Amino acid sequence: MIRKPSILAIATLLAGALVSPARANILHVDDDGLDPFECEAAQFHTIAEALASANPGDEIRVCPGTYAEQVVLTQAIRLTGISFGTAQPVIKPTALPETRPSLIGANPVTGAIIVDNEFVRISNLNIDLSDVTVSTCLPFLTGIYLRRANGAIEKTTIENVRGAGNPSCQSGVGLYVESGAMEEYLGESVLLLARVIGRDVEVAR
């Protein structure tokens, strides 16, 4: 008799595959090349450039500065901000071109950081959406959107996530986490639960 594996077993196997790379590398990002210590050897000026060179399990360390970009994570990555005194890394996009269909109703969802079906750790970042103007109710606006993802968000501030262009829209969620079906197995949908731990996460309007 063939037994269908439990959802927990499938999730455990997937998580194990994601967080056990053969070798993890550390990549540094510095927007202006002026920060000291480990940032002096930064190989990249944008987070997108680092992501293009990263492999699953790598860590991207973001030096102090302002990064006017949307970050889309489609592989297991650790995204860590580095602070020097009051100088912090700020992800402050001016546009959010990337969206993903919601697992609840399929409406498009966007965010400063989108994590799509992966295991991640995000820490010590400031996310600011004050330069993003939303004039419609869709896509649904978030600071961080974790779509069928697992991991941890730590020591992170999310601010100015609001649909200021259209006050009637119920849009603007700092941290949005969705679970959903992975695919069918023996004719039945397998549901993977998103498991996200938040520590010292501050959401400010």
pLDDT, tens only, 94-133: 999 999 999 888 899 999 999 998 999 999 999 999 999 8
- What does pLDDT average to over the chain? 86
Q: Is the pLDDT of residue 147 over 60?
A: yes
Residue 86 clears pLDDT 70, i.e. is over it: yes
Q: Which candidate, 150, 122, 198, places its Cα nearest to that of 8? A: 150
125 contacts 62 by C-beta, under 8 angstroms: yes
Contact call for residues 129 and 84 (beta carbons, < 8 A): no
| Predicted pLDDT of residue 185 | 65
Residue 186 has pLDDT above 80, yes or no: no
Structure token pair of residue 128: 């600011």
Most confident region among 51-60, 100-109, 191-200 by mean pLDDT: 51-60
Round to whole Å and give the CA distance between 113 and 146: 8
Give residue 40's pLDDT band: very low, low, confident or very high (50, 70, 90): very high
Banded pLDDT at 33 (limits 50, 70, 90): very high
Distance CA 123, CA 111 (A): 17
Q: Would you say 98 and 73 are in contact if contact means Cβ atoms under 8 Å apart?
A: no
Does pLDDT of 1 surpass 50? no
Q: What is the pTM of this model?
A: 0.85
